[in-house]
Amino acid sequence: MRRLVSTLVVAEHEGGLVKPSSLSALVAAEAIAKENKVSLLLGGSGPALHKAAEHAAASHPLVNEVLVADSDVFAHPLAEPWAELLRSVQQKGGYSHVIASSTSFGKNLLPRAAALLDVSPVTDVTAISEPRVFVRPIYAGNALCTVRYTGESPCMMSIRSTSFSPATESMSETKVAPITQQAQGNLHG
């Protein structure tokens, strides 16, 4: 039985726009499977967040929904509250994959969120061969290895944004994904 692929992309934004490294994560989501149900998670507060959500909703035709966590708790990229948010969103959405860019934020967040979900992250992915087969550097980047993720869902990974270049004309005029507000639950601010 083949399971439907669904991906949560943890996106970063600045000045009302989704950062290019997060757009690269969307390209990686497309490489996992062409029929991929992709949700984009944005957090922060204020008008810049909502402008970034609108940008994200039209950023790629693969985006099915944009999840927005509007709270002062997420205004700064601190891994602890974000890891709790990611755990909560994953438990509600049941995604098969979670992708973040290998930025300082992604590298800080992913291991914490993976620990809360009791899975192991695959880091610095440079190529995706199959939905659970990835290429990543080893030996300080002097060699590449192919790894197969055999753990429980979700398969959490950070991607090197330079390996997944977004198309320059990636904005979708025909499809705009719905934007959904996320409840913060028991998060403290």
Residue 1 belongs to a domain: no
Q: How far apart are alpha carbons 30 and 183 in whole angstroms?
A: 27
pTM: 0.87
Residue 58 belongs to a domain: yes
Residue 174 belongs to a domain: no
Residue 100 belongs to a domain: yes
Q: Strand 143-148 relative to strand 133-138: parallel, antiparallel, unpaired? A: antiparallel
Listed residue (147, 145, 157, 149) closest to 110, CA to CA: 157
Domain range spanning residue 70? 6-164
CATH code for position 126: 3.40.50.620
Listed residue (126, 147, 10, 16) closest to 69, CA to CA: 10
Q: How far apart are alpha carbons 188 and 164 in whole angstroms?
A: 35
Q: How far apart are alpha carbons 151 and 41 in whole angstroms?
A: 23
Whose structure tokens read 């934004």?
A: 13
Number of domains in the chain: 1
Per-residue pLDDT of the chain (189 residues; tens, 9 = 90+): 345 788 999 999 998 888 999 999 999 998 887 778 899 999 988 898 889 898 888 888 888 899 999 998 898 888 999 999 999 999 999 999 999 999 999 999 999 999 999 999 999 999 999 999 999 999 988 999 999 999 888 999 999 999 998 865 545 454 666 777 775 544 444
Helix axes 79-93, 104-117, angle to 10 degrees: 50
Residues 33, 37, 41, 42, CA torsion sign: positive
Whose structure tokens read 């909560």?
A: 88
The whole-number pLDDT of residue 166 equals 80
Residue 139 belongs to a domain: yes
Torsion of CA 41, 158, 133, 177, to 10 degrees: 20
Residue 183 belongs to a domain: no
Listed residue (156, 189, 7) closest to 80, CA to CA: 189
Enclosing H/E stretch for 41: strand 37-44
